[in-house]
């Protein structure tokens, strides 16, 4: 069985009336749906949103301690800032794209008081959302570093196929520190155990997480694959696409009414997401498989939609992420003229 793509027929619902308690996130599903073709690089959107969250909290959590200007109520102030920015991240994401995982039991690796193999509900939990967003942020940044794209576009790309197993352990790469997330397994656990260089900054009697982590190339791939495998196992499955070879338009829409007499019955096995989390990790899997021969570029309306598009040698470059985005941009251009 050869799986070559994500099920293009899969869609998901967005959310409204999002409310956050101490532990859970509640919302109402909308009738508005999104198709994968409109968000072909959504994993990178989540990566950037989590990056904004880190930057919005680092000044209160790290910089004041480093500069020695910590106020008496710093811990309380930093905690309030963290909670406020975390709430903003979650609500903005739910409103724009929807929940990552809904109504689905899955594993919580190394959660306090819970063994890794015990099943617990992950339905709209705050800690689970932040854990997964942090994992996406770290994995995508590492893949960008390896591929020489995105945040690391100015770095020399490392071609995995040209790196032998015997030299992978000696090749040390600097990447974002996974300790900046609240993940308690995988790469973050390795960093806490001191596997790597530069994960702790000493400032007086304070231990502060460094923004970077230096580890062997082989270790990075090990942790990247562990994260990807874990989330794919939880949130995806294989299925067969509907057997109608109907041509799609440039935005992925397919209508059986447009079929002609030559419509065939080619059966294609596709990877199907169980939820939005599954779709995001399938996109990350695609980036892993195609690194370093993959690139991303912004939609022409990127300032408003924050969507990137996929660019490879085998795919022609689109200009817009969706018809709606193109029409919105056209209206704005007419108003400015």
DSSP string, 37-86: GG-TTHHHHHHHHHHHHHHHHHIIIIIHHHTT---TTHHHHHHHHHHHHH
Q: Is the pLDDT of residue 116 over 50?
A: no
Residue 231, in any domain of the structure: yes
Residue 274, in any domain of the structure: yes
User: Looking at 168-172, 247-251, 271-275, which range is the least confident one?
Assistant: 247-251
Put residue 212 in one of left, alpha, beta given phi > 0 → left and psi -120 to 50 → alpha: beta
Please count the structural domains in the chain. 1
Residue 156, in any domain of the structure: yes
Q: 112 falls in which pLDDT band (50, 70, 90)?
A: very low
For all residues of the chain together, what is the average pLDDT? 78
Strands 105-107 and 119-121, by their bridges, are antiparallel
Q: What are phi and psi of 21, to 5 degrees?
A: -100, -165
Residue 17, in any domain of the structure: yes
Q: What are phi and psi of 192, to 5 degrees?
A: -65, -30
Boundaries of domain holding 231:
12-244+264-293
Q: 218 falls in which pLDDT band (50, 70, 90)?
A: confident
Residue 208, in any domain of the structure: yes
At residue 275, the pLDDT reads: 92
Q: 331 falls in which pLDDT band (50, 70, 90)?
A: confident
Token pair listed for 296 = 């991303």
Residue 224, in any domain of the structure: yes
- H or E segment and range at residue 95: helix 74-96
Across the range 293-299, mean pLDDT stands at 88
Token pair listed for 59 = 């000044």
Residue 3, in any domain of the structure: no
Q: 66, 42, 3, 16: which is closest to 207 by C-alpha?
A: 66
* Residue whose token pair is 């992950």: 122
Residue 333, in any domain of the structure: no
Residues 6+ apart with CB under 8 A from 35: 8, 10, 11, 252, 253
- Write out pLDDT tens, residues 196-207: 876 665 555 666
């Amino acid at each position: 069985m050869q799986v070559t793509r994500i099920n293009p027929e899969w869609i998901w619902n967005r959310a409204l009336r999002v409310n956050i308690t101490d532990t859970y996130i509640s919302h109402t599903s909308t009738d508005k749906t999104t198709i994968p073709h409109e968000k072909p690089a959504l994993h990178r959107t989540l990566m950037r949103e989590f990056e904004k969250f880190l930057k919005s909290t680092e000044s209160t959590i790290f910089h004041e301690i480093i500069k020695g200007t910590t106020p008496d109520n710093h811990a309380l102030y930093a905690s309030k800032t963290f909670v406020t920015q975390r709430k903003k991240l979650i609500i903005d994401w739910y409103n724009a794209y929807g929940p990552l995982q809904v109504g689905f039991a899955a594993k919580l690796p190394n959660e306090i008081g819970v063994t890794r193999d015990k099943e617990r509900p992950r339905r709209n939990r705050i800690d689970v959302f932040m854990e997964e967003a942090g994992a996406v942020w770290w994995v995508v940044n590492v893949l960008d570093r390896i591929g020489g794209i995105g945040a690391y576009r100015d770095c020399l790309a490392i071609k995995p196929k040209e790196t032998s197993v015997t030299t992978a352990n000696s090749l040390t790469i600097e990447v974002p520190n996974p300790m900046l997330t609240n993940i308690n397994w995988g790469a973050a656990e390795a960093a806490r155990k001191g596997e790597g260089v530069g994960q702790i900054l000493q400032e007086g009697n304070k231990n502060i997480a460094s923004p970077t982590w230096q580890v062997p190339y082989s270790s990075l791939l090990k942790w990247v694959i562990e994260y990807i495998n874990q989330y794919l196992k939880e949130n995806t499955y294989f299925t067969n696409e509907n057997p109608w070879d109907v041509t799609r338009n440039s935005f992925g829409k397919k209508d059986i009414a447009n079929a002609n007499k030559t419509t065939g019955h080619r059966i294609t096995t596709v990877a199907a997401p169980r939820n939005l989390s599954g779709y995001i990790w399938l996109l990350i899997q695609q980036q892993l498989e195609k690194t370093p021969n993959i690139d991303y570029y912004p939609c022409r309306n990127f300032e408003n939609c924050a969507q990137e598009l996929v660019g490879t040698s085998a795919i022609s470059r689109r200009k817009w992420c969706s018809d709606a985005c193109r029409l919105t941009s056209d209206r704005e251009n007419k108003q400015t003229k």
